Structure 1
Amino acid sequence: MTSIFVTGTDTGIGKTVVTSLLVRFLNDHGKKFIPYKPIQSGAEYHDGEWGAPDPYVYSIINKLDALKDQCTYLLKKACSPHLAAKYENVQIDFSLIERNIQLLANQADGTIVEGAGGLFVPLTTDGYCVIDWLEKLRIPTVLVTHAGVGSINHTVLSVEALQSRGIPIAGIIMNHLQEDDKEVTHDNKQMIERLTGIPIICEVPFIAGMTEESMENVNACFQDWKIEIILEAFKNGFTTINGTK
């Protein structure tokens, strides 16, 4: 079984869509992976009950029923998890989450765990951040970044933070959030790989009119994806600046 962690250079960078697409792509190629969002802040109220928006996207893209075990801590306030948990007097039990990761992975070829926000988002009031938890987990991590201006700096800083903790990096996924200058995005990709030594294993193209709730053209996202590259990235992990293990 394989567990992969998905983090991002920022909040709103597209981790949920990338997580969903990875699961869909792997499943389409005969590898069953289960998506998991252990901590979700910003619950949404529909049909008389609170629901987790990120697992809802998982279910839309993968044509699955939204399962309650895809989210362990559902917090109502849309803010940093440490504050959302404080409002509800919730104590996050990381050992419980880790058991759930293993349970889900045992049901399939693996699980893809989506983090909350970026690496230094605090998960508890004493300042225990996503990166601190990742340092303990030591599972290969996919870093999601955007394709436009500013991506180089944000991505390199995130990679260096992961490497400073010895966290294995499976690869970088570049998410095109809008229609950017192609010359700029191409150069961003080349420079990120040059500065970090970490490969961009795939890109999510910008497709006009596509939203998280309307993914009819989902297969268009996979036009340049290579299953062998993604599986190899998941198996290995790059821990040093030159991309060697």
Structure 2
Amino acid sequence: MTVIVVSGTGTEIGKTVTTAAVAALALAAGRSVAVLKPAQTGVAPGEAGDADEVTRLAGDEVTTLELARFPEPLAPNTAARRAGMAPVRPYEVAEAAEKLAAEHDLVLVEGAGGLLVRYDDEGATLADAARLLDAPVLVVASAGLGTLNMTALTTEALRARGLTPLGVVVGSWPAAPDLASRCNLADLPESAGAGLIGVIPEGAGSLERADFRARAGGWLAPDLGGTWDGAAFAAREAPEGFTLGPAL
């Protein structure tokens, strides 16, 4: 895969840290990596954004590109309109990703919020950019109550648009998971119809770069270049009698 679109089931669930982990593993495998952030919201000029956070965690070797920055922490279209700025269009995202792909082994396109957040007044979303790129979509989900529904809605929306869910990663696994999180771990693959291919521990984004890079392989499955064993993790963390459900 040359281009992977990273989307979430919502906001503040670990998309950037997940993107950084995927980038770190690709770098460790000797691949050149670029991260594209189509729209950064809620960040002032000169302030570090999500792309900068990926570089901080994964390494300075990562090429980063931000297409637009809007000051208020809102949906991209709303933030652009309130700032009196031009919105980001799907074709602009696709063109930028294709240019990066011509010079890099892997391009990660990190969305803002969930899959169907609007980028312009016509209702364009990250899914539209993914369709133009014919790229698989890595879904980052939360661990707790409600995630089964949100993850299923996201993967259904992907398939309805002819897109392929690459798999699901839990973006922040609690240090002390509650019963819902532990049950969700086993139920997510069946609800999503896509494999659970990683679990990022809570607080991973606060690690120093060297530690983050050293640990990233243990958080992501071989599909993403890591060594994480979903069945073993579920056997350890899920309630007694639960096993990692099959992807439909």
TM range (shorter): 0.7 to 0.9
User: Does residue 16 of structure 1 match 2:16?
Assistant: yes
In 2, are the aligned partners of 1:148 and 1:176 still within 8 Å (CA)? Answer: no
Counterpart of 1:75 in structure 2 is 70
Superposed CA RMSD:
2.6
Which amino acid is the alignment partner of residue 7 of structure 1? S
Counterpart of 1:157 in structure 2 is 153
Q: Deviations over 1:187-207 (max 9, x none)?
A: 212211123331011111224
Q: 1:129 to 1:42 in 2, by over 3 A?
A: same
User: Does residue 7 of structure 1 match 2:7?
Assistant: yes
Q: Deviations over 1:161-193 (max 9, x none)?
A: 111211111111112253342654342122111
Q: 1:119 aligns with which of 115, 133, 143?
A: 115
Counterparts of 1:142 and 1:190, CA distance in 2:
19
Counterpart of 2:90 in structure 1 is 94
In 1, are the aligned partners of 2:32 and 2:62 still within 8 Å (CA)? Answer: no
Counterparts of 2:90 and 2:70, CA distance in 1:
15
Q: 1:215 to 1:147 in 2, by over 3 A?
A: farther
- Deviation at residue 81 of structure 1 after TM alignment: 0.7
User: Which residues of structure 2 form unaligned runs of 5+?
Assistant: 227-245
Q: 2:192 aligns with which of 174, 191, 196?
A: 196
Deviation above 4 Å: which 4+ runs of structure 1?
212-216
Counterpart of 2:52 in structure 1 is 56
Which amino acid is the alignment partner of residue 76 of structure 1? P
Q: 1:142 to 1:124 in 2, by over 3 A?
A: same
TM-score under structure 2 length normalisation: 0.80
Counterparts of 1:96 and 1:70, CA distance in 2:
12
Deviates more, 1:84-93 or 1:210-219: 210-219
User: Does residue 230 of structure 1 match 2:224?
Assistant: yes
> In the comparison of the two structures, how many residue pairs are matched?
227
Counterparts of 2:207 and 2:52, CA distance in 1:
9
User: Which residues of structure 1 form unaligned runs of 5+?
Assistant: 233-241
In 2, are the aligned partners of 1:73 and 1:92 still within 8 Å (CA)? Answer: yes
TM-score under structure 1 length normalisation: 0.81
Q: Secondary structure of 1:40's match?
A: strand
- Deviation at residue 157 of structure 1 after TM alignment: 1.5
- Deviation at residue 17 of structure 1 after TM alignment: 0.9
Q: 1:77 to 1:138 in 2, by over 3 A?
A: same
